[in-house]
Every structure is written in C-alpha cells, then in structure tokens.
Amino acid sequence: MNVAEEIRRRLQAAFQPRELDVQDDSAAHRGHAGAPEEGQSHFSVRMRADSLAGQSRIQRHRAVHAALGSDLVARVHALALDLDG
C-alpha cells in the first residue's frame, strides 16, 4: 500500500469524514532537501468530518496526527492539512 492510500485508510477509519481528499505532492518537491527520490514524502489532505466540529485548528491537527500514528507521520516529510467540522 502506498503512503497516500495508508493516510486515506487511517483517516477514514478514525473520522468517517463526509469529504476526504489526499494528494501526493511529492513530484513538485523532487530534488528539494528532505525529499527522497522515490517520492511519497509530501502530501496535502482536505477533510471535512463532523467529529472535528467545535475543535480549534491545533486540536484538529493533533487529532489527525494521532489518527495517522507516529509510525506513518515519521515517514512523511510534509503534510499540509485543510480540516473542518
């Protein structure tokens, strides 16, 4: 399973979002410091989930990082999050 699919699977399981879009932006960062040649390092996530309603931006980001788990977060160089309830 590639990293984008793993991100999507973990977020779907944790939040049951009504909208979830995971983009692999790695190709745009090829050659930059911290970007491995094989890619799968830079991602953008847009998610809308009722369980995030009423949470601050920091709380939403922490919830996503917890759902992804430290093992997956450690493999990702950059994760842009657009989250809302």
Q: Going residue by residue through the chain (85 aa), what tens digit of pLDDT does each one get?
A: 699 999 999 999 999 999 999 999 886 556 565 555 565 778 999 999 999 999 999 999 999 999 999 999 988 888 999 999 9
- Pick the closest to residue 2 from 66, 76, 67 (CA basis): 76
CATH number of domain containing 7: 3.30.300.90
- Look at strands 19-24 and 42-48 and give their pairing: antiparallel
Which domain range does residue 80 map to? 3-84
Q: Where are the alpha helices (DSSP H) in 1-85?
A: 3-15, 57-68, 70-73
pLDDT at residue 31 in the model: 57
Residue 77 burial class via C-beta count within 10 angstroms: exposed 0-12, middle 13-18, buried 19 and up: middle
Residue with tokens 């793993």: 6
- The count of structural domains within the chain is 1
